[in-house]
Amino acid sequence: MAKGNSANSDWMQAAKKVFSEAMVAELAAKGQDFLESRSEGVWLYDEKGNASIDAYTAAGTHNLGRTRSELSQALLEAVQSTDQGNFILLSEEKVRLARRLASFLPHDLSCVLFTVVRGEAMDAACKLARGHTERPHLVTVDGGWYGQTGFAMSLSEREDKSKYGSLIPGVTTVPFGDVVEMKKAVSKRTAAVILEPVQAENGCRAASKEYLRQLRQICDRNGTLLILDETQTGFGRTGERFACEGLGVYPDILILGEALAGGMFPMCGLAFPPRVKAFFDKHPLIHLCTFGGHDVGCLVAEKSLELYETLKPWENAKRQGRHILGELQALAVEHSKIVRSVSGVGLLISIQMDSVERALGFCKAARKAGLLCMPGEVMKASVVLRPSLTISDDDSETLLKAVRDSLQTL
């Protein structure tokens, strides 16, 4: 049956039976109980043809815009020339992408491992860190959100952890920004320190240059690896190719998110220098993924990197983000009874409301005003805006108008 041919209510009833009643109820609470019908650029259309600026972008996956024609064409050509390949074998597609990615990444992060999803990339990074250092201990900071798999869930701040029994042992969480506590936590037993440069799901709380510099020193003194998760900050979202470049502190392992293939194909990964790759040289099969480095996906990701290099969308993200952030901060003053603060960097922006209910209400009102956005996963009283990095001046003004109109209704 074609998408949109049946009534929305019929589809939602089917979703309740097949997926989750609670999921559908949660979507309804945010005004998002609709069907994605089509998308183009910064725009998303529902089954009735209603248009919204997509400021969710699959948690920052669609950095280059929705249904980008060059990526669609690359995918079409890829499926006509190859398939997924054999994941245990090398292919020209895998080698070409790895070589191109190495030239795109900062510092000495020239070695890569491809995965399918963010959580898997974090799991592989933790395995690599423990194997490389021969140490069991991991340290992270509060407020993080790293994905849905084993290590990723164990490192994340989430209310439902206790529902799944014992998770990964040997994980210590310290307060974000507290260097004294970090020094206490990290020892010669610590394999890695793990954090996001900007905690998108936690009010866009950002690490300072000085804080990261001190973490780098703590890690170096103890022979501990520094892992930065740039799933949401990478590929231009903060106004730099990667947030670590703007901060001037480079990790030993960098987590790469789904923006790698521009949202046209599922691909993530991790990058690391040759000295860390040395563990793979001795133990090549510590992490295998049937669809990691999928040959079709590699061709799409290669085209995505070509677009990143040509368009330099981080420049637009910096300019548009500065404008949007300034306007939103002015709106926060105007609506100070319900908006606590606005923070962010580039096109990763968080509006902190006065309650969880207000954040949900804002998302619902925004949807009616033509803007799709989501509450934060950690700071649930926040609303995160992360539109395509290719957003135009006119579309930025449309986004801001939707925010203004939504705040007026609360």
Average pLDDT, the chain: 95
Taking the CA atoms of 185, 188, 189 and 192 in sequence, report the sign of the dihedral they define. positive
pLDDT, mean of residues 99-116: 96
Report the alpha-carbon distance of residue 288 to residue 38 in Å, rounded: 34
The residue behind tokens 């040959």 is 295
The structural domain count of the chain equals 2
pLDDT at position 173 is 97
Q: Which of 283, 311, 339 is the last residue of a domain?
A: 311
Residue 1 within a domain: no
pLDDT at 2 over 50: no
In sequence order, the 6+-apart residues with CB closer than 8 A to the CB of 327 are 400
Confidence band of 288 (pLDDT split at 50, 70, 90): confident
191-202 tens-digit pLDDT: 999 999 999 999
Best-predicted range by mean pLDDT (26-30, 43-47, 282-286): 43-47
Q: Is the pLDDT of residue 122 over 50?
A: yes
C-alpha span between 355 and 332 (Å, rounded): 15
318 lies in a domain?
A: yes
The answer, yes or no, to whether residue 4 has pLDDT greater than 50, is no
pLDDT at position 257 over 50: yes
Find the range with the poorest average confidence among 64-78, 145-159, 381-395: 145-159
* 368 in the same domain as 249: no
Are residue 292 and residue 392 in the same domain, yes or no? no
- For residue 261, count other CB atoms closer than 10 A to its CB: 28
Query: Mean of the pLDDT values across residues 252-272?
Result: 97
Which residue's entry shows tokens 């501990």?
224
Same domain for 40 and 83, yes or no, is no
* Residue 2 maps to a domain: no
Shared domain check, 190 and 125:
yes
In the chain, the largest separation of any two C-alpha atoms, in whole Å, equals 62
Q: Is residue 104 domain-shared with residue 117, that is, in the same domain?
A: yes
Whether 55 and 108 map to the same domain: the answer is: no
> Using 50, 70 and 90 to split pLDDT, how confident is the model at 13?
confident
Task: Give the DSSP letter string of 133-150.
Answer: HT--EEEEETT----SSH
* Residue 244 covered by a domain: yes
Are 306 and 325 in a shared domain?
A: no
Task: Write out the residue range of the structural domain in which residue 262 sits.
Answer: 69-311
CATH of the domain at 346: 3.90.1150.10
Quick check: is 154 in a domain?
yes
Q: Which residues pair with 58 in a beta bridge?
A: none
Same domain, 249 and 334: no
Report d(CA 110, CA 100) in Å as an integer.
10
Residues 199-216 have pLDDT tens digits of 999 999 999 999 999 999
Mean pLDDT over 105-128 rounds to: 96
**Hey, which of 11-15, 20-24, 234-238 has the most confident mean pLDDT?**
234-238
Question: Could you tell me if 337 and 227 lie in one domain?
Answer: no
Q: What does the pLDDT read at residue 231? A: 97
Distance CA 62, CA 73 (A): 16
pLDDT at 5 over 70: no
> Looking at the structure, do residues 249 and 283 belong to the same domain, yes or no?
yes
The model's confidence at residue 164, banded by pLDDT at 50, 70 and 90, is confident
What's the pLDDT at 163? 85
The alpha carbon of 202 is separated from its chain's Cα centroid by a whole number of angstroms, namely 13
pLDDT at position 1 over 50 = no
- 204: which 2 tokens? 């866009």
Q: What confidence score (pLDDT) does residue 351 get? A: 98
Closest CA to 128 of 218, 232, 257, 251: 251
Q: Is the pLDDT of residue 63 over 70?
A: yes
Which of 311, 331, 346 delimits the end of a domain? 311
Question: Model-level pTM?
Answer: 0.95
CATH number of the structural domain spanning residue 185: 3.40.640.10
Distance separating alpha carbons of residues 278 and 217, to the nearest angstrom: 22
- Domain assignment present for residue 22? The answer is yes
Query: Which amino acid, residue 335?
Result: H
User: What is the rounded distance in angstroms from the CA atom of residue 34 to the CA atom of residue 27?
Assistant: 8
Alpha-carbon distances of 38 from 44, 62, 196, rounded to whole Å: 6, 14, 32
- The two three-digit tokens of residue 50, written as one number: 């209603």
Least confident of 15-19, 47-51, 274-278: 15-19
Domain boundary among the residues 311, 327, 352 is at 311
Percentage of the chain modeled with pLDDT above 90: 87
Q: Is residue 3 part of a domain?
A: no
366/372 Cα distance (integer angstroms): 7
Helix (H) or strand (E) holding 113: strand 111-115
Q: CA end-to-end span of the chain, whole Å? A: 38
- At residue 6, the pLDDT reads 52
Q: Are residues 256 and 171 in the same domain?
A: yes
Average pLDDT over residues 269-284: 95
* Cα angle 163-190-167, degrees, rounded to a multiple of 5: 10
Give the pLDDT score at 268. 96
Residue 26 lies in a domain: yes
Considering the domain architecture, whether residues 156 and 289 belong to the same structural domain is answered as yes
**What is the structure's pLDDT at 7?**
57
Lowest mean pLDDT among 21-30, 317-326, 362-371: 21-30
